[in-house]
Chain A
Amino acid sequence: MAYNRCIGTRYCANNCPYKVRRFNWADYTGADSFPDNQDQTIVGVLDPAVHVMNEDLSRMVLNPDVTVRSRGVMEKCSFCVQRLQEGKLKAKRANRALMTGEDGQWDLKTACQQSCPTNAIVFGNINNSKSGISKERIENTKRSFYSLEQLHVMPNVNYLVKVRNREEHEA
């Protein structure tokens, strides 16, 4: 998503078969209330919640690495592009390839992956057969599937079906 190109027709969200896109229906984050971004003599009095985000303390809830999206913009999961960028730079400084689970080495983890208590989420470089995600996919070929694969929208996310004890179930 190039946020600064988005004019907010919501067409992509309508067409998304997974309905995973989210629209900024209003100015939630105060992105538009930065000084002089919105002249209140023109647009009317803004909600106090909006102004809270002008204070340095309350701005600390916002991730400083991520652009604050303005209202009227569509957004979706970016696979933590800010962490990806950081990880790539880290690898570049060390003069080696990016590590996403190769030999247990991680230059980056996405936020959902990092916070998942059961390690159910793996993210990484699928072009490298030694990465965590590649190993996971190879080990679970019979278990992995793509949601709504028949639509051929070719998502990057795959899931693993639940493990069932079929023999016992059938007996």
Chain B
Amino acid sequence: MHLKYEAQIREPLVDGDKDYHQVSEDICRPIEVKPSRLWYIGFFISVALLLFGVWSVYDQVVYGVGQWNLNKTVGWGWDITNFVWWIGIGHAGTLISAILLLFRQGWRTGVNRAAEAMTIFAVICAGQFPIWHMGRVWLAFFIMPYPNSRGPVWVNFNSPLLWDVFAVSTYFTVSLLFWYTGLLPDLALIRDRAKTKFRKFFYGITSFGWTGSTKHWQRHEALSLVLAGLATPLVLSVHTIVSFDFATSVIPGWHTTIFPPYFVAGAIFSGFAMVQTLLLILRKVFSLQDYITLGHIEAMNKVIVLTGSIVGIAYLTELFIAFYSQNQYEAYAFFYTRANLFSPYGWAYYGMMTCNVLSPQIFWFRKMRRNLYVTFFMSIIVNIGMWFERFVIIATSIFRDYLPSSWSIYYSPSIFEIGFYVGTFGLFFTCFFLFSKYFPVIAIAEIKHVLKTSGQNYKEQVGGIESQKVEEFAGEYAH
């Protein structure tokens, strides 16, 4: 079936003695049994957090944005910080599903489903912030360019905020389609195994009449490739456009040409950290250690140390350019406000440096990359660091810019801003808990696809292959 030959020294992607049936059993089990007590506890905590967020936003919309601690100088605080943070987290899912698919990276099969789900939920959470931070959210539809009877009032295509609308909505649409396309064969599998009426009905509808015919597979493969092709530029473009919100402005600390690549690297960095956090819990709770192996975790840690170092270089470049340009405003932003431990927000800058640049360097060591505790701890640290990065960029740039007469008092969030952020965690985990209960958290069909080349037991069976002559090997496996 496969012309692909995989070296025996590569570690298997699927551990244990698995056949196709065993794969289905392992991954469908969480869907077909009652959720554990732990699942219920987690789910209800998430819903409670979500409700806290709903209350915070409700109160803020009723009263006005004055419920937040923003002021005339700091117009964006936690709201846009959290928007950029969430949207960055989403990027790992798209990178895993699209770019790694095009690069034929077999290890993506174990993690892509959960990572793509994470992308979708993270983008949903991210989308809340630009919507609810509007002063008049009931007029949010003004950002949609469509023929209307209001003049017609047309949108301003010069505004990076409008580019954001297109970038994020395209990203969400493509990610959702991609995720769902991959789900189809797996949903059909659950439908075929279904023993309850609900499951028969629900998975019957959601699997869109998938029969597994060759024609279906052919279209499925073609569509997956097309969507991967569409999603690949999005991995780079979405955060580039988000960075334009800042890069195109005139504020020192925002007006920086390095932002697009720096934001994209940071997005992938934080995204992989979030994937690690989720998958380490998931593989433990659902006993999926055979599918999400140490090899997978190590591969993702390599991405983390790479992107973390890129981000580190970007930070240093920024500092150098602030010095080299001899621009007094830049110098003030970078050397007085940021890289100065004793400035009002110095703690955030040094927190960012420690979490994002210094601590991921531990992953140069193989032992650390394969250590679950270190990985879990680091995944949290990296996401704290990336939150600091967005906060540093947004708040420390605007709170003191050109004219000292316009400088603001120290900005710290109100309970409504904190509640909104906590609420998006609730939204994210509510979605993720529902996903883990009702959808296969690992792409079953794709695991089966790589099982015979990269499964542990199959690798052991074909262990003698390397002593064969090339002609013999080709003759045997080509047909």
Contact = CB atoms under 8 A, between A and B. Distances in A.
Contact of B403 (A9, A18, A21, A27): A18
Interface stretch (B133-141, B233-241, B425-433): B133-141
Given A18-B402, A25-B64, A27-B64, A7 B251 contact: no
A43 B62 contact: yes
B245 to A, nearest CB: 8
Interface string A1-25: 0000111111101110111111111
A68 B250 CA distance: 30
A74 interface: yes
B56 to A, nearest CB: 15
Contacts of A7: 134-137, 139-140, 142-143
Given A11-B159, A22-B72, A6 B136 contact: yes
B359 interface: no
B160 to A, nearest CB: 8
Nearest to A12: B75
Given A14-B398, A15-B249, A71 B142 contact: no
Contacts of A26: 63-64, 66
Interface string B56-93: 00000011111000101101100000000000000000
A8 B70 CA distance: 13
A17 B142 CA distance: 26
A14 B249 contact: yes
B415 to A, nearest CB: 16
A6 B75 contact: no
B401 interface: yes
Given A7-B140, A11-B159, A44 B62 contact: yes
Interface stretch (A55-63, A85-93, A131-139, A147-155): A147-155
- Chain B facing A: main interface SS: loop
Given A19-B406, A70-B136, A71-B135, A13 B72 contact: yes
Contact of A11 (B72, B161, B402): B161
Interface residues on B, range: 20 to 34
A73 to B, nearest CB: 6
Given A13-B75, A19-B73, A19-B401, A6 B249 contact: no
Interface in B117-163: 130, 133-137, 139-140, 142-143, 153, 159, 161
A17 B251 contact: yes
Interface in A13-71: 13-15, 17-27, 43-44, 70-71
Given A13-B72, A44-B62, A18 B135 contact: no
Contacts of B66: 25-26, 71
A22 B66 CA distance: 12
B403 A72 contact: no
A153 B64 CA distance: 31
Interface in B144-191: 153, 159, 161
B76 A14 contact: yes
A129 to B, nearest CB: 31
Contacts of A27: 64
Contacts of B249: 14-15
A151 B64 CA distance: 33
B82 to A, nearest CB: 15
Interface of B: 62-66, 70, 72-73, 75-76, 130, 133-137, 139-140, 142-143, 153, 159, 161, 245, 249-251, 398, 401-403, 406
Given A5-B142, A19-B403, 8 more contacts: A9-B130, A9-B134, A17-B250, A18-B402, A26-B66, A71-B135, A72-B137, A151-B402
13 contacts: A5-B142, A7-B137, A9-B135, A11-B159, A14-B251, A14-B398, A15-B251, A17-B250, A17-B403, A19-B406, A23-B135, A72-B65, A73-B136
